[in-house]
Amino acid sequence: MATTADYGLGEFTFPRGWFMVATSEEVTNTPIGVRYFGEELVLYRGHSGRVFLIEAFCPHMGTHLAKNSTSYVVRDKEHVEGDNIRCPYHGWRFGPDGRCNEIPYSPSPPPKAACLKSWKVVERAGVVWTWYDAENGEPDYDLPAFEAFDAPYWVNWKIDCMGTLNSHPQEVVDNMTDKGHLEPVHGSVDMVSFDNEFDGVVCRQILAAGHKTLAGSGAEPMTNDTWYTGPGILQSVMIGEYPSHMLIAHTPVDDGSVKVWYGLMVKVKNEKPTGADIALAKQYEVAGVDAFAQDFEIWGNKRPCINPMMVKGDGPFDKLRIWYKQFYNPKARAGEYQARVNGKYTTRGTATAPWDAVA
């Protein structure tokens, strides 16, 4: 398992950006322990309905705030009180800002050091997102709007957790420029075009190709427009009889491992989707999970690719890795990496960019 340092990505261990930490339905008034960015954290939903993400261990005596089912704090349903959370060991209460605001057995005011790190959280499109920045700065780009979610004619995605992958996220992001794997892994045929575009924090792939089973030989090519917004949120749209909108989210767990999720929304014929529409969308989702599982199996069983052995026909892996570095270095340097790669890149060996057109 390779680390960030092995790839020479930059100053920070984990990339700056918006990341998924849970589905909305997972987060309730019962706190749960999660691990991301090399840290133990706690997620819970306050009685206001808001979701909070805080560091896991009480500063009093190091108790994990979520991992308890036997304390009377938990049995008496005092674990979450309003938007506060209580330590199951001694009952110290912490507000959503992370500060201790009550010690139930002491007349002393809570020490100023009795404070937990709290994380910026946004709940959107059935997902709980957090902002991570080693410099503790405010977001420098917006979380995507996911406009199709809850929109008329669209069947919302049901997010599937694909598990934790013992692979550095660099290996996952490399797929954006990997033209060569599309036929042997995913069954693409008769490739019309394969283009990449880098624009600030967005990396895009536009693929036009047939498919061995989904389209068949001689059928109209399918076009996929796929893009990363920052280092951890991939979306893809495919136009067809039933347009689809895919989400793949991955979040670092430790240096060299990521947790990965998949979701798919489908546009149907009825403004308010029927039961039949939902069943149809489920079929698309199952097919999508199967296709993504093809990548997942590769990533889970390959050795780290520190330096790709690039040949003609490969996509611009080198440009992608420069683009990716902006998230592992101080925010002030982001423009430096963007300026080195911003633009459109066409990979040869397709119908519209054949080999004989190369000088």
Residue 210: the pLDDT is 78
Beta bridge mates, 252: 258
Whole-number Å distance between alpha carbons of 166 and 300: 6
* Residue 138 within a domain: no
The verdict on 157 and 291 lying in the same domain is yes
Q: How many CA atoms within 13 Å lie on the side-chain side of 36?
A: 29
* Residue 258 within a domain: yes
* Residue 11 within a domain: no
- Which residue reads 């101080």 in tokens? 330
* Cα separation values, 255 from 1, 24, 124, 251, 279, Å: 9, 26, 27, 11, 39
The verdict on 187 and 217 lying in the same domain is yes
Q: In total, how many domains does the chain have?
A: 2
Beta-strand pair 127-132/121-124:
antiparallel
pLDDT (tens, 9 = 90+) of the chain, 359 residues, equals 899 999 999 999 999 999 999 999 999 999 999 999 999 999 999 999 999 999 999 999 999 999 999 999 999 999 999 999 999 999 999 999 999 999 999 999 999 999 999 999 999 999 999 999 999 999 999 999 999 999 999 999 999 999 999 999 999 999 999 987 888 888 777 778 999 999 999 999 999 887 765 554 556 778 899 999 999 999 999 888 899 999 999 999 999 999 999 999 999 999 999 999 999 999 999 988 888 888 889 999 999 999 999 999 899 999 999 999 999 999 999 999 999 999 999 999 998 999 875 54
CATH number assigned to the domain comprising residue 253: 3.90.380.10
Q: Which domain does 87 fall in, by range?
A: 17-132
CA nearest neighbour of 81 among 110, 52, 115: 52
Residue 216: the pLDDT is 46
b/e 66-82 (16+ beta carbons within 10 angstroms → b): bebeebebbeeebbbee
Say what the pTM is. Answer: 0.95
